[in-house]
Amino acid sequence: MFESLPKSAQQVQDWSAEQYQPYFQDLIDRPLNADNVSAWLADWTRIAELAGEVFSRLNLATSQDTTDEDAEKRFLAFSEHVLPALQVADQELKEKLLASGLQPDGFEIPLRNMRVEAEIFREANLPLMVEERKLGVQFDKITGGMTVNWKGEEKPLPALQTEGQNPDRAEREKAWRAAHQRFLADRERINELWGKFLDVRLQMARNAGYDSYIPFRWKQMGRFDYTPEDCLSFHRAIEEAVVPAAERLYERRRQQLGVSTLRPWDLNVDPTHPSSIVLDPLGREPLHPYQSVEEMERTTEAIFQHVDPALGGYFTTMRREGLLDLGSRKNKAPGGFCTSFPVQKRPFIFMNAVGLHDDVQTLLHEAGHAFHVFESAPLPYAQQHDTPIEFAEVASMGMELLAAPYLTQNYGGYYNETDAARARIEHLEGMITFWPYMAVVDAFQHWVYNNIAAAHDPAACDAKWAELWGRFMRGMDWSGLDEELRTGWHRKLHIHQIPFYYVEYGLAQLGAAQVWRGSLEDQAGAVARYRKALALGGVAALPRLYETAGARFAFDTATLRSAVDLIEATIERLSAVH
C-alpha cells in the first residue's frame, strides 16, 4: 500500500482528505505486534511527514505574502477540510498504539505525550481549532498590512526600526508615535478578534471537560515538568533578581543620554518589541553590519564555521537549497521564525531583515532552531521529533551566545573589536530587559485565563496590562502615553495567536545562559553538549534535555541571579573594550 505514497509534499498539496484516507485506514486495520511495530511506525511517519510538510508550506506561503488570496484559500482549505480528518485518523493510531501495550525503543516520552493527547482529544474541537487558525490569519492580515507614511513614502512598520537608532531624539519620537498610532488605529478590530479568540478557547476546554482553559492548555502544550504555580514563582524570581538589574541599566542609559527621564523612544521605536534596546546612548551611528541579504548570509555562514564546522555545513546547505527568506518587504507578515519540512528533513528560516544588528541576532537565533532540525533528523519516527518548546528555545538562544565571540572580522564576522563589543553589549542588555517583559506577557495571560469573563472586556485587559507593566517594567517614563501603554498587549502576537507560548523564552534564556557559562570554560565541550542535547529531539524530558546541554531546568531566584551576575560582569568587561 505505502509503496504508492508520493515522496514529495508538493505532489500532495492539493490532496483531499479522501486521498489520505486509504493510507491511514491501512494502518488502522493492520494487526500490530512486537514484530511489525517498527514497520508500522515507519509507515505512520511517512504519511504524517507528508501531511506535516504540506501544512508547513501552505502556512509559510500565507506569511510570505499576506495579500496572496490563493495562498490563503489553499491554507484555509487544508485547515478546514483536510487537517481535521487527518487529526481524527491520527488519534485512532495513537489509541491503537496505546491499546497495544507496546513500547518501542525511544518511545517512552512520545507515549507519555500520546496518553495526554488522547485524554484531551475531542472531535468537537476540530472545527474550533480551524476557527482559531482562521482568527490567527486575520490577526496577521491586520498587523502585516500596517503601513505608515514616513517622509513621503509608504513603509511597513518593520522598516521604521532603523529610526530607532536615529540620534535625533525628536525624529525617534515621531517614528515611535507613528508606529504606535498605527496600531491604535486598528484597536477596535483587534479587540473584536480578541473576544472571538477567548470564546473559541474556552469552548475547547469545556468540550474536553475543563471549566478553565489553563489546565487544558497545559496538557495541550505538553507541559509535564512544571506547573502554572512554577510560572508564578518564576515571575517573582524575575522581580527579585532581574528588575533591579534592569533599573540599573535604564538609569545608566538615562545618564549617558543626558536626559531627565528615559522615554520609550530612547530604547527603540518597534511597537512589537518594547523591551529591546537598539539606540546607542553615545550618539554613534547605528551598526549596519551588511549591505545586502547575500552578504548577511555569507558572513553568518563564516561565523557558524568557527562555532562548529558541522553547524556551518548545515547553514551552507540552507543557502544552497534556498531555505532562507530573510529580507523585509511590503505585505510580508511581521516577525521571524523557523519552520521545518519533515519529508525533506530540512528547516526553513523566515524573517524581516532591514540592515540592523538585530537582524544578525535574529538569524543566529533562528539558525539555532534550524540546527535542531538537522541534529534530530536521524531519529526514525515523526513522534520523536516533538521537542518541548522550552528546550527548542535553548537551541536558538544558546546559539546566539555561542556565536557571539565570532562576530569580529578576524573570524570572518561583521565587526571590528569595538563594534563587536558594542553589539554584544546590546544583546546582553536585551537579555536583562527581556525577562521583565516576558513576565508581563506571561502574567497577563495567567490573569486572562483565570478571569476569562473579565478579560472579555478589552478595557479590563488594558488596565491589567498597565498594572503589570508598573510591576515589572520600572525605569521608563510613559507619562502622556496612557493609551499606547495600556494597549501593549495588542502588539504581542503570542498573546493572540499562541496563548501561553512566551514563558518558554524566559526559561530557555536561563538555560542558554548556563550553556554559555560552560562555553567560557570549554567552548568545544559546550558545543558538543549542545549538539548532543539537540540530537535527542523529543525522546527525553525537559530536565534531561537541559542536563545534557550542561544546564539545569530552573525557576528560582538564585539560579536567575547567577545568570544576571554573569551578564552584568560581561557587560562591564566589554564596556572597557569600546
| Pairing mode of beta strands 346-353, 324-327 | parallel
CB 433 within 8 A of CB 249: yes
**C-alpha cell of 246?**
534592569
SS (H, E, C) 11-56: HHCCCCHHHHHHHHHHHHHCCCCCCCHHHHHHHHHHHHHHHHHHHH
Whole-number Å distance between alpha carbons of 68 and 460: 36
**C-alpha cell of 491?**
502588539
Q: Is 114 helix (H, G, I), strand (E, B) or coil?
A: helix
Whole-number Å distance between alpha carbons of 541 and 124: 30
Whole-number Å distance between alpha carbons of 29 and 570: 60
pTM above 0.85, yes or no: yes
Q: Is 321 helix (H, G, I), strand (E, B) or coil?
A: coil
Split into its structural domains, the chain has a count of 1
Classify residue 198: in a domain, yes or no. no
**C-alpha cell of 42?**
515507519
CB 364 within 8 A of CB 300: yes
Q: For the packed helices 357-376 and 309-320, what is the interaxial angle rounded to 10 degrees?
A: 100
CB 161 within 8 A of CB 278: yes
pLDDT number for residue 144 = 87
Residue in 114, 113, 81, 85 with CA at minimum distance from that of residue 97:
114
Radius of gyration (Cα) for the chain, nearest Å?
24
Classify residue 61: in a domain, yes or no. yes
Classify residue 66: in a domain, yes or no. yes
Any idea how long the chain is?
578
Which residues, listed in sequence order, are joined to residue 349 by a DSSP beta bridge?
Answer: 324, 338
Q: What are phi and psi of 193, to 5 degrees?
A: -60, -40
Whole-number Å distance between alpha carbons of 27 and 20: 12
Which residues, listed in sequence order, are joined to residue 346 by a DSSP beta bridge?
Answer: 341
What's the first-to-final CA gap in the chain, in angstroms? 65
Classify residue 79: in a domain, yes or no. yes
CA–centroid distance for 126 within its chain: 24
Whole-number Å distance between alpha carbons of 166 and 178: 15
Q: How would you label 127-142 residue by residue, b for 16+ Cβ within 10 Å and e otherwise?
A: ebbbbbbbbbbbbbbb
How many helices (DSSP H) and strands (DSSP E) are in the chain? 24, 5
Residue range 317-335, pLDDT digits in tens: 999 999 999 999 999 988 8
**Any residues with CB less than 8 A from the CB of 320 and at least 6 apart, and which?**
none
Residue 13 lies in domain: 2-104
Which residues, listed in sequence order, are joined to residue 154 by a DSSP beta bridge?
Answer: 149
CA distances from 47 to 86, 87, 381, 469 (A): 10, 12, 11, 46
| Beta-carbon-side half-sphere exposure of residue 72 (alpha carbons within 13 Å) | 13
Low-confidence ranges of the chain (pLDDT < 70): 578
Whole-number Å distance between alpha carbons of 162 and 181: 18
Q: Is 492 helix (H, G, I), strand (E, B) or coil?
A: coil
Whole-number Å distance between alpha carbons of 381 and 289: 41
Whole-number Å distance between alpha carbons of 350 and 323: 9
Classify residue 542: in a domain, yes or no. no
pLDDT number for residue 277 = 86
Residue in 469, 462, 410 with CA at minimum distance from that of residue 438:
469
Q: What are phi and psi of 257, to 5 degrees?
A: -75, -20
* C-beta atoms surrounding 150 within 10 Å: 16
Classify residue 10: in a domain, yes or no. yes
Sheet with 346-353, strands from edge to edge, namely 324-327, 346-353, 337-341
Residue in 312, 317, 286, 308 with CA at minimum distance from that of residue 300:
312
Q: Show the DSSP H helices in 416-541 as ranges.
A: 417-450, 452-455, 458-472, 482-486, 493-497, 503-521, 523-535
Classify residue 150: in a domain, yes or no. no
| Beta-carbon-side half-sphere exposure of residue 195 (alpha carbons within 13 Å) | 12
Residue in 533, 544, 515 with CA at minimum distance from that of residue 375:
533
